[in-house]
Amino acid sequence: MATRAESAAVTRRSLLDAAAELLDEGGPEAVTLREVGARAGVTRGAPYRHFAGKDSLLTAVAAEGWERVGDRVQALRADPDLPASERLRGALRALIDVGRRQPHLYQLLFKPQGARGDGLERVRLQLCGPEGDPTAAVRAAGRFQDEFQAIVAALVGEADARHYGALLMTSAHGIAGMELSGHLDGDKWRTTADELVDTLVRMVSDASVTTWET
């Protein structure tokens, strides 16, 4: 029937699916190795055959999350029917949509895991393996950033793609995060994420034109 490597791969996939499911349902606190194992049809110790521990499992979930967002942005960039501004709008919304649809996953994507910094020392990503080489999560996030930057470059040119790309990406992240945390609710701001995205696209288009030679 199934070779050992195959069934192990199936189990690993089930574990990842169960973890992602539990994450969506109840956040990181709800992702219990025991419950993950139960949903995957194994016991509590089995996940340790596939992941170093809970953090490692969640990091793998984050990697797949980044891959999905990267795929979506790549599809936007490669769509020949879309004008450049629409591609950018779509890329910004892609990020915000994850925050809306999978808020817990979204927070995981931007969580500096295993913070080492004390005081002034910066908090560093621990998404790297023992030897320091980037893992799947870092690579997947990097691919998203490359696709995003390419979309921005098509709109504002290569020269400004880095700076304005960073501005757009961080802004989208901020919109998603504050919408998620509820700080955009109420009568205080009276604006929506979509309106903010539109303003961003317009402002960057204008600014990149007027400051093209500065």
* CB-nearer residue toward DNA: 37 or 165: 37
Among a copy of itself, DNA, none, the one that 123 touches (CB under a kind-dependent 5 to 8 A) is a copy of itself
Question: In the stretch 75-94, what mask flags binding to a copy of itself with x, by CB under 8 A?
Answer: --------------------
Considering only 24, 42, 126, 178, the residue that binds DNA (CB under 7 A) is: 42
Please give, one letter per residue, the 3-state secondary structure of the chain.
CCCHHHHHHHHHHHHHHHHHHHHHHHHHHHCCHHHHHHHHCCCCCHHHHCCCCHHHHHHHHHHHHHHHHHHHHHHHHHCCCCCHHHHHHHHHHHHHHHHHHCHHHHHHHCCCCCCCCCCCCCCCCCCECCCCCECHHHHHHHHHHHHHHHHHHHHHCHHHHHHHHHHHHHHHHHHHHHHHHCCCCCCCCCCCHHHHHHHHHHHHHHHHHHCCCC
* CB-nearer residue toward DNA: 2 or 120: 2
Smallest gap from Cβ 54 to DNA, in A, equals: 4
Contact status: 35 vs DNA (CB under 7 A) = yes
What residues from 35 to 54 belong to the interface with a copy of itself (CB under 8 A)? none
Considering only 5, 81, 122, 213, the residue that binds a copy of itself (CB under 8 A) is: 122
Reading the block at residue 202, the tokens are: 């317009």
**Given the structure tokens 């349902």, which residue do they identify?**
25
Smallest gap from Cβ 46 to a copy of itself, in A, equals: 24
Contact status: 162 vs a copy of itself (CB under 8 A) = yes
Contact status: 7 vs DNA (CB under 7 A) = yes
CB-based contact 15:40 (threshold 8 Å): yes
Interface with a copy of itself by CB under 8 A: which residues? 24-27, 100-101, 103-104, 107, 110-112, 115, 117-120, 122-125, 141-142, 145-146, 149, 162-167, 169-178, 180-184, 188-191, 195-196, 199-200, 202-204, 206-207, 210
